Structures are given as C-alpha cells and as structure tokens.
Amino acid sequence: MEICDELRSFEATGIYRLNVTGTSSGASFLDPVRLLNGSYQRFRIIPSAYYSRSFEPPRQVGEPDTEQPEKRRKRKRNQKLKPRELNAMERIAEARHQEARPLLLSAHESLIKDKYLLEHFSKMMEGKDHKLDVGSGSENNFVELGTSWRAPFYEITICFRKPHVLGNGEGSFNAQKTSFPLFNSIISVEAIDEAEGDFQNRYYILPRGSCFLMSDFKCVRDLIPGSSNQGYNLIVVDPPWENGCVRQKEAYHTLPNRYLLYLPVQELAHPAGALLVLWITNREKLRIFVEKELLPSWGVKDPTVFYWLKVKHDGSLIGDLDLFHHRPYECLLLGYINVNTDAKQGSNFKLLEGTQVIMSVPGAHSRKPPLEKLLSEYIPGPKPPRCIELFARELFPGWTSWGNEPLHFQDSMYFSEK
C-alpha cells in the first residue's frame, strides 16, 4: 500500500497500523476525534476541546507549586536524595515494566520513524477552533447530583427529530420533546440522527441508537437483558480504581476494588460469546487482585495484555517511560466469556493473538480512546455486535452506557454543528 493510501485510510477511519520491527506484536496509532466523529451526522467533536490537556513534567514529592526555582536549585545543591528501596510489590511491578519495555520502545520507534504520519496528524490538528474553557467548573456534576435527595425528581428533556412525509411526497422533520427521569432510568435514543438533551440549562448531544443508565451500583442489575440472545458481545469496563493520585486531584470518585466482584458481567455476556476489555492501572497489588480474583469470577481465563502508550502531538511520549509512579502508559486486559478458545475452526472472528500497543494523544483525565473499530475482528457473536461500557463517561452510537456520569463528555461545549 502506498503511503498516500495509508494516510487516506487513516483520515477516513482514524486508525493507522504500524509495523513494529523485531516482534510479532502489533501497534496502532489512533485519532479518537476522527473515530468518534465518524459516527455523528449533525455534530462533530471539536479537536481543541478533546485534546484540552497540556503535559508538564511531573513534580517530585516535596516540590509544591509555590516553590521558587532559585530555592529549588539551592535545595537540590545542598541535599542529595537517596533513592528509596523498592518494596516487594514494587519490585514485581518493575520487573513487569522491564518485560514490557522493549515492546513499548519498538512501537514508539515505529511511530517516530513514520514522519509522514506525524506531519499529517499535525496538519490535521491545525485549525481555527476556539480553545474552549473545558473543565472550568460550569458543567453539571452528575456524581454529586445523583447522591442528592433531589435526584429522583431530576428530569432531562430530550428533543428527537422524527421524519415526516408531506402530502406531496416531500420529506421533512418534526421535533418531538420528551422528558425522562435522569437518574435510575434507562433512556434510549431512538431517532434518525443525534438527539439533544436539556438539563439545568446545559445541553447534551446524544448519539443515535445510544442507550444509557445513570445510576450507582443499586441499579446495575437493571442492565441484564430479559432474553439471553440480547446479551452483549463487547463489554468494556473502566473502573474508577482506588488511587491516591486521583484522590489528591479530586478528578473523580474512586470505588473500593472488591465492589467489582458484584458486577453482573457474566449475566451481561451474550451466550454466543463476548470479548471483555478491562482497563487497569499499573499498581501491582491491583493487578494481582484482577488476575487472581476478579477475572476468574467473571469467567475470563488467560487474558491478553494490551498497552495504551500516550504521546504528544509530535509523537514524543508524555513523560519518561521509566518514571516509576508516572508511567506514560496504561494496561488493558482482554479475554473471552462463553468462548472455547481452543476451538479455532468455524469461528466468525479472530482470536486474540499476542500483545498489542495502542498509541494516541490522550484527552481529558481518565478519558480512554474508543476501541470498537480497532477490536472489531476479535469480537465474537452476531454482527453488528451489541456493546456495553460500564463506568462510562460518554456515549457511543448503538452502545449501552452505565455509570454515575455517562453524559459527562456529551456536554455541547465539546461539540460544534457540522
């Protein structure tokens, strides 16, 4: 394939496949904005709103924001900090990192060498979009609203566009507004294109065919399909893992890890098979819990590891690869439910084969790149697949999304009309 064809495919799909030398593993570069915009008809996500983060070198412990550079330099001259000895768990985590390091470096090198891709992506990022004040605090805080005594009384008004055929045969659209309980109620967007939701003077863009349930754990079992053949073929779980750094930033509320054992994942899975994707952090204690307890309780065996390597617009890593508590990558564990992985014949999908590296420029804190298109060939069961995300913070066309803030990134300030 010629380079121009590869870039043309990237521009159309948002996925660019890279060749990683010296390894059988695969690597891909994703443009989440292009992937997401491919599913919207009347609106588009504003790149400057999605890529709203700036990446500064992480400060070491003991270096507060207010410390003057002169004092910092003087303190460093007068003190020699002894490297802290790693404990047993940290040594295991470091060994795991060293095992992944060659693959991550090879994948990143393949990206850096692809000058045409980086130049093309930089040009795609150039534009006249207004830099929005995303995260200014003006958005609705659904987590707090959902715990309020008023929560059962909150309603969202959704405007659907319905097709209407006139007497002369010409078509038009009728706007139909309907109000729904915002919390603890399953809401489906059955319209010909995006619907618009109105809640407390904020507007939300709702993709066609999306479905969401905004609730806490008490209502999660409402997601279990009434019929087994309505189960899900792709299940993405992105929990708010317990994490001291997140608590300090107060970016989102965390959840005790053992609560996840009560998620009805097996009951959500389609009997013809489901691919499970679990986002996890790099903490070794958490990794052991996931591999020894959580995944077996969900019926997942022998998971495959993917890595999400975070880069800047110029292709460089967002941080030092070897910085222990600030790795510039996250892990995904993927595995099958209700699938005999030993039977390779007669399948309508490819079984997962080996580790892969996904690279992209990250968006807002904890926002993950969309994965359905990248993983489509590995999803078992009927086509198109039925997909669900647990602990969702945004909606996708045709997906079911559950969490305490699935409308977070659907705020109209992230969008403009096409």
C-alpha span between 230 and 268 (Å, rounded): 9
Residue stretches of the chain with pLDDT short of 70: 1-3, 22-24, 54-83, 126-137, 164-172, 244-252, 344-346
Query: What per-residue confidence (pLDDT) applies to 58?
Result: 46
Which pLDDT score, from 0 to 100, does residue 1 have? 46
| Residue 149 lies inside a defined structural domain of this protein | yes
Question: 398: domain range?
Answer: 142-164+173-417
CATH number at residue 177: 3.40.50
Q: What pLDDT is recorded for position 167?
A: 54
Residue 45's pLDDT is what? 95
Query: What is the structure's pLDDT at 211?
Result: 97
pLDDT digits 0-9 by tens, 199-251: 999 999 999 999 999 999 999 999 999 887 889 999 999 999 987 655 445 55
Q: Which of 264, 258, 345, 339 is nearest to 303 (CA)?
A: 339
Q: What is the pLDDT of residue 63?
A: 47
Q: Domain count of the chain? A: 1
3 part of a folded domain? no
According to the model, what pLDDT value does residue 62 have? 45
Phi and psi torsions of 275, nearest 5°: -100, 125
Distances (CA, A) of 347 to 26, 53, 302, 379: 22, 42, 19, 10
The H-assigned helical ranges of 41-164 are 47-50, 69-78, 88-113, 115-125, 142-147
Residue 72 falls inside a structural domain: no
Asked if residue 93 is part of any domain, the answer here is no
Domain annotation covers residue 292 = yes
Give a yes or no: residue 402 inside a domain: yes
Q: What pLDDT does 324 receive?
A: 83
Residue partners of 312: CB distance under 8 A and separation at least 6: 55, 318, 361
Residue 394 lies inside a defined structural domain of this protein: yes
In a domain, 291, yes or no: yes
